[in-house]
Structure 1
Amino acid sequence: MSLLDQIDKERIPVHVAVIMDGNGRWAKQRDLDRTFGHKEGVSAVRRAIEAASKAEVRFLTLYTFSTENWKRPEAEVKALMSLMIQAVANETPELVKNNVRVKVIGDIDRLPSDTKGALDYCLSSTSVCTGTTVVLALSYSSKWELTNAMRNIAKDIDQKKIVSEDINEDLVNSYLLTKDIPDPDILIRTGGELRISNFLLWQIAYSELYFTDELWPDFNEDSLYKAIIDFQNRERRFGKTSEQVSQKS
């Protein structure tokens, strides 16, 4: 029986988020330039999207480029942006064919104009798709997102659109870039590192965390299915006791 067949179709995580880590180390292990690792990482993205679609995961969020990544060597950043343009251009027809919608979260204004152009074309082309939604976190960090949300809340208080007494979790959610996306059920991190790296800190408050030593370029369909099966074997209590959870089910 395949791993896909072992997944309980009644308990599919609605939203899977992934910190894609290990491209550089994958290349270094093979005495290759880091750029080759990023190229192989694109293939892993394709496999992850295909696997999510087959498993009927509704949302797949990929931590593609953080605000901190702008601090990397200029040559690597330029190579990443060029690779992104090429990948988006090449993958858009296949995404449309497979009914995959693409969304982007992050400080998009920092992206080069040609990168933004390729993304805009992909977003427009896939906007009518109704299958899995792939959310690309680009030029994104959670602290940036939360700071931006606080700034906008303060602005709306100044303009008397809201008052401070209105502030609660739901209001904060409405100011986040993910306001129309359910919180992740599971966060996967590849590459063996055990940290969150400033990713969706508000949204993953009750997400299940799954860490794997597998480097991102080696990630494949079975890798995702193993994570989903692991998720399905956990008890999600959300602050309740096991007895309360079992009574509800």
Structure 2
Amino acid sequence: MGKVYLVGAGPGDPDLITVKGLKAIQEADVILFDRLINEELLQHASEFAELIFCGKRPDQHSLTQEKINELLCAYAKQGKVVTRLKGGDPFIFGRGGEEAEELSRHGVPFEIVPGITSGSAAAAYAGIPLTHRNYSSSVAFVSGVSKQDGASESYWEHLAQGPDTLCVYMGVKKLPEICGKLMQYGKEPSTPIALIHWGTTEDQQTVTGTLADIREKSHLIQNPSMIVIGEVVRLRDQLKWFEDTPVQELFPAEAIVG
């Protein structure tokens, strides 16, 4: 019996991979990788490793989740070291829990290697602290799409009146609905909001506004993007650093991990 590593590859900047995650890439016989990972990380794989693309785009999957689960188990049962390389953190909207459940059912040994999730990383690279003692003492990570009844009135009422900062994953298509529900249930129309596209990469773009006007300001922003909502967004003007730094200083050729 081999072993499966469920690895968080981080949010995009390849230097944000963990040391343990990098080792799992280097030691793998098989790597199943997602669309949102930085493929520079695959340069650290063995020349003999089998690389399998498992990318998912909205409404378009190269492999179904069931097929991915099947492959993880099958390769491990062949005695191979398998690294499942996922964007961000595998247990934060990464379906890593589902994959771990399947491995457990089949008696396949596995390890979880946490990664830096895009909710915190994209905000940090945009100069937005998710908590700040003057602005926010709580934060919630929220999915824009869910099997749960995410459109229920009680759900949005809870979010509007609960956490100080909201980080919304996969929410760009539902941005008007998200903003409308939050305002309906008590968030001020002037509440700051930021959309961060391709956070932590050289293609990062950030658009800020309010719940009332962000739709008009961000109509060109597409997925993948993080949405951050709350008073902490006001700090961006003072703390933004990444997009003002020359690319050659942020991504020097010799800085890639390994």
Instruction: State the TM-score, normalizing by the size of structure 1.
Output: 0.29
Would you tell me which structure has more helix in proportion to its own residues? 1
Would you tell me which structure has more strand in proportion to its own residues? 2
Instruction: State the TM-score, normalizing by the size of structure 2.
Output: 0.29
